[in-house]
Amino acid sequence: MRQVLSVTSECAPLVKTGGLADVAGALPGAMEGEGWHLRTLLPAYPAVLEKTGKGKIAHKWNDLFGHPATLRKVAYNGLDLLLLDAPHFYNRPGNIYLGPDGKDWPDNPERFAALSWAAAEIATGIVPDWRPDLLHCHDWQAALAPQYLRQAGQNCPSLMTIHNIAFHGLAPAERLGALKLPSEHFTSEGFEFWSYISALKAGLVSATALSTVSPTYAEELTSPEFGMGLEGVIASRKGDLSGILNGIDLTVWSPKTDPNIAPFTGPGGKARNKKKLRQAFGLPEADGPLTVVVSRLTEQKGLDLLLAALPTLLAEGGQLALLGSGDPGLEYAFRQASEAPDIAVKIGYDEPLSHLMFAGGDAVLVPSRFEPCGLTQLYALRYGAIPVVARTGGLADTVIDANNAAIRAGVATGITFSPTTAEALETAIRRLCGFYRAPDLWTKLQKRTMQHPVGWDASAREYAALYSRITG
Ligand code: ADP
Ligand code: GLC
């Protein structure tokens, strides 16, 4: 079995703020069948240690970025983990990235530089009897690892996966020394970005290969509209960039066995879950579809457009149940909107409830301005909720619009719209409600969505081919 060190700042079911955790948590299981064993390097946040226990000590640092640290080897829920226990950096309450003021911890660059440094050292063989053939780095939090390898003259192959290019991991130039970065690479060809240090750029220029989480996003990333200033760097490495779709863990997301819902096998079984969902949100019965949103509330997700489109949804007899948290302005606006009897909002994070929402919802709305892959439309497909998505990134790659031709061919799985505007979303909502009023068509669509393959099989094979190519 060939060995990979997967480096990530979050990993389900231990610690999660978004889709990265789902992917980091599911990929190891998916790759095992392809002949690749993934060991996951993750910070030992308090919530993680609480679940895993302290495990065996694999290495100790007296001084990792100025503080002592311990590497702990543990197994949890099928995951083979190395936990970086650096209390000075990770022993903090609450959100893993944000302080109590809701802002990024000021030392986030150092916190995740330490993770990347540990990864690079593990690649050079500091863990007894183990050395990875490949370093798989996820997002900016792991992106300094290939740079650290490079400056140490080490050549362990590396794959840098972009889950979201909106987060660069920027630090002011004065922190070069603190981050153990050499000034000779602080150039436009290196990790300098508008006179800041960019951790993500360091990974993009120094990793052996790059990937992102859908083919369409891989294309989009080379354009100024989506590249967030890094489009030039990515375009210069186009030949090294792959787009591989995320899958979902079919053992966790199974309508037949999910302990959070009333289990079901076909569209008919959704009714009981819909009832439970309406109860959970205090929603009345309605003539139109019950639409749901499970999301971080950020600019990316385009939910301000949904606010603008709500009158259309209500006029069509539809309802909305939203679960999310994030931007205080959006939280406030949705709370206000929920004064309408057919709109219900829960601000917070609730994993079990999210399952019931996909199981009980008639449709899932995802009006993202950009979406590297997106997972909620995949859960929607699996649970027979019709995805209504902006035609961008991974959303475009996973949902087949129910136009006449696709309906006739029996391949339609949802509704896509473009551009990402309130008007286009309103049109999509009207189409959805039209379909809902035609029960035969609706059931046919639901059946089709539930058959759409959303597991890891095809993508695991693509990762295996990529891993093999990179390691030679
Ligand atoms: P992103 O990673 O950009 O947030 P994804 O669609 O890839 O978007 O993944 C989001 C993940 O987080 C999904 O598993 C989704 O169900 C989950 N999620 C988002 N917000 C919440 C919430 N408030 N409660 C429970 N789960 C949530
Ligand atoms: C990011 C993206 C999301 C993707 C997830 C997992 O958070 O915003 O589209 O599904 O990473 O790759």
Strand (E) or helix (H) holding 448: helix 439-451
Does the Cβ of 325 fall within 6 Å of ligand 1?
yes
Ligand 2 midpoint to CA 280 (Å): 27
Ligand 1 midpoint to CA 472 (Å): 35
Other CB atoms closer than 10 Å to residue 172's CB: what's the count?
10
Through-space distance between the first and last CA atoms of the chain, rounded to whole angstroms:
15
Residue reference for tokens 């991991």: 169
State the virtual CA torsion across 405, 411, 415, 420 in degrees, nearest 10: -80
The rounded distance, in Å, linking the Cα atoms of 79 and 32 is: 11
Nearest to 344 by CA among 352, 353, 335: 335
Ligand 2 midpoint to CA 182 (Å): 31
Best probe residue, ligand 1, of 375, 379, 381, 383 (max atoms within 8 Å of C-beta): 375
Ligand 2 midpoint to CA 185 (Å): 29
Positive/negative CA dihedral, 297, 300, 302, 304: positive
Does the Cβ of 369 fall within 6 Å of ligand 2?
no
Strand (E) or helix (H) holding 207: none
164 CA: nearest ligand 1 atom:
3
Ligand 1 midpoint to CA 346 (Å): 14
Per-residue tens of pLDDT for the chain, all 472 residues: 999 999 999 999 999 999 999 999 999 999 999 999 999 999 999 999 999 999 999 999 999 999 999 999 999 999 999 999 999 999 999 899 999 988 999 999 999 999 999 999 999 999 999 999 999 999 999 999 999 999 999 989 999 999 999 999 999 999 999 999 999 999 999 999 999 999 999 999 999 999 999 999 999 999 999 999 999 999 999 999 999 999 999 999 999 999 999 999 999 999 999 999 999 999 999 999 999 999 999 999 999 999 999 999 999 999 999 999 999 999 999 999 999 999 999 999 999 999 999 999 999 999 999 999 999 999 999 999 999 999 999 999 999 999 999 999 999 999 999 999 999 999 999 999 999 999 999 999 999 999 999 999 999 999 999 999 999 9
Q: Which two tokens stand for residue 226?
A: 């989506």
The rounded distance, in Å, linking the Cα atoms of 322 and 260 is: 17
Best probe residue, ligand 2, of 141, 226, 375, 399 (max atoms within 8 Å of C-beta): 375
Strand (E) or helix (H) holding 189: none
| pLDDT confidence of residue 94 | 86
Ligand 2 midpoint to CA 23 (Å): 9
| pLDDT confidence of residue 382 | 98
Which ligand has the minimum distance to the alpha carbon of residue 162?
2
Nearest to 21 by CA among 6, 4, 9, 39: 9
Which ligand has the minimum distance to the alpha carbon of residue 139?
2
246 CA: nearest ligand 2 atom:
12
The rounded distance, in Å, linking the Cα atoms of 98 and 44 is: 16
346 CA: nearest ligand 1 atom:
23
| pLDDT confidence of residue 355 | 98
296 CA: nearest ligand 1 atom:
20
Query: Which long-range contacts (C-beta less than 8 Å, at least 24 apart) are formed by 409-414?
Result: 410/444, 410/448, 411/448, 412/445, 412/448, 413/381, 413/386, 413/387, 413/445, 413/448, 413/449, 413/452, 414/377, 414/380, 414/381, 414/386, 414/387, 414/388, 414/389, 414/445, 414/449
Ligand 2 midpoint to CA 169 (Å): 16
Give all strands of the β-sheet with 290-297 in edge-to-edge order.
343-347, 319-326, 290-297, 363-366, 386-390, 415-417
| CA nearest ligand 2 atom 11, residue | 163
Does the Cβ of 374 fall within 6 Å of ligand 2?
yes
- Alpha carbon distances (Å) from 424 to 289, 305, 330, 419, 452: 18, 10, 20, 6, 25
Ligand 1 midpoint to CA 219 (Å): 24
Name residues whose C-beta falls within 8 Å of residue 126's C-beta, 6 or more positions apart in sequence. 59, 71
Does the Cβ of 213 fall within 6 Å of ligand 2?
yes
28 — phi, psi (to 5°)? -55, -45
Does the Cβ of 23 fall within 6 Å of ligand 2?
yes
- 386 with 428: CB under 8 angstroms? no
Nearest to 431 by CA among 392, 460, 388: 388
Does the Cβ of 9 fall within 6 Å of ligand 2?
no
Nearest to 122 by CA among 111, 109, 107, 137: 137
Nearest to 116 by CA among 183, 43, 166: 43
* Runs of H (alpha helix) within 294-438: 303-315, 328-337, 351-360, 376-382, 393-398, 404-409, 422-436
Give all strands of the β-sheet with 196-198 in edge-to-edge order.
170-172, 196-198, 192-193
Does the Cβ of 371 fall within 6 Å of ligand 2?
yes
Does the Cβ of 146 fall within 6 Å of ligand 2?
no
Does the Cβ of 350 fall within 6 Å of ligand 1?
yes
450 — phi, psi (to 5°)? -70, -20
Which ligand has the minimum distance to the alpha carbon of residue 226?
2
The rounded distance, in Å, linking the Cα atoms of 267 and 448 is: 10
Which ligand has the minimum distance to the alpha carbon of residue 295?
1
| pLDDT confidence of residue 369 | 98
DSSP state of 300: G
Nearest to 115 by CA among 91, 96, 92, 90: 90
- 110 with 179: CB under 8 angstroms? yes
